[in-house]
Amino acid sequence: MEITEKEVLNKWIEYTLTNDNGIQVSLLNYGGILTKLVVPDREGKLENIVLGYQNFEDYEQDSNYFGAIIGRVAGRIENASFELDGKTYQLKTNEGNHHLHGGESAFHQVIWDAMSFQNDDEAGVKLSHTGSDDAGGYPGRADVTVTYTLNNKNELLLDYEATTTEKTILTLTNHTYFNLTGNLKDTIENHQVSMNSEQFLELDEALIPTGNCLDVAGTPFDFREGNRLAAGMHSSHQQNTIAGGGYDHYFLFNENEVPHISISEPTSGRMLDITTNQPGVVMYTSNSLDKALQLSDGNSRKHAGVCFETQASPASLKYHQLPSIILGANDTYKKQTCFTFHSK
């Protein structure tokens, strides 16, 4: 195992973790942004499988949240307000009338305190951040740590932990865009995805969940036995159309099953397995990605990457049948998502 670090902008440090199999993970202390992830294909060729900017400065005004830690609340909060114990809290709007991914100057746009570590079998970076009281309109001060760990089993673990001084709301995720073709050689249309989910949340025209949990059976949202992402990108299903030609939906994992997602790409042979103790995942297929962005492996385009945002849904603030995102003052938020890389 090896870990290196270099300064890329004023006070920005990029850490690169390398395991004994040649897998490399690069991340910034700014936003906890995962900038590059290099893994082998079936022939052993090492290539980057995540989207990131060619110029680090572009992360400062990034509306796509490439590779970033998202919080305090991942996802959209309708009308930028919520009620907690009879009190209404108003947040800042940053997507029409709504509040998206923690708002402006959220976790994706702060410099985190960073501490690296390594031993014979793993290397990682522990990121810590303390938000101010009432930051962005959220009640309480949140103390958050996110730890990235790469090991010799070709696992990348993201461990999230948080406490708060007051009862508040919180659900964290990572917003990495994956493309297993390597070095952005093609879109994600032929990526094969399977996940143990029987229901997803219906969206309205503003991409806000309606509270209806729709069955995946007989729809392009059925990934229980595996399905190509192209199934939703070329679909006339109203929900795929609303999302801009693809997916931007919250899938609820089946109860009493270990949440599991598998992704494979036939040309490279690369495979990615995702396990988590989160109750669901937003799968987003970069339906609105700007074509003009200069990425490390070429220009961006629609369907250039797919995000798997493991999290609870902020729709639970309105629809209480969904897993809650409320965090009590004496409680600890503790979640983990594991990405495992292999090929066939």
Name the residue among 59, 141, 221 with its Cα closest to residue 213. 221
Tokens representing residue 167 in the block: 């009862």
Coil, strand or helix at 7: strand
Tell me whether residue 202 is one of the annotated catalytic residues. Answer: no
Tokens representing residue 299 in the block: 């220009």
Tell me whether residue 309 is one of the annotated catalytic residues. Answer: yes
* Alpha-carbon separation of residue 38 from 45, 105, 128 (angstroms): 10, 29, 25
Q: Evaluate whether 64 touches 53 at the Cβ level (below 8 Å).
A: no
Q: What is the DSSP string of 148-212?
A: EEEETTSEEEEEEEEEESSSEE-B-EE-PEE-TTSTT-S-STT-EEEE-EEEEEEE-TTS-EEEE
Local structure of residue 167 (DSSP, 8 states) = S
CA distance 67 to 164: 25
Q: Among 101, 175, 191, 303, which one carries the catalytic annotation?
A: 175
Q: Among 14, 47, 122, 309, which one carries the catalytic annotation?
A: 309
CA distance 318 to 153: 41
Which residues are identified as catalytic? 175, 309
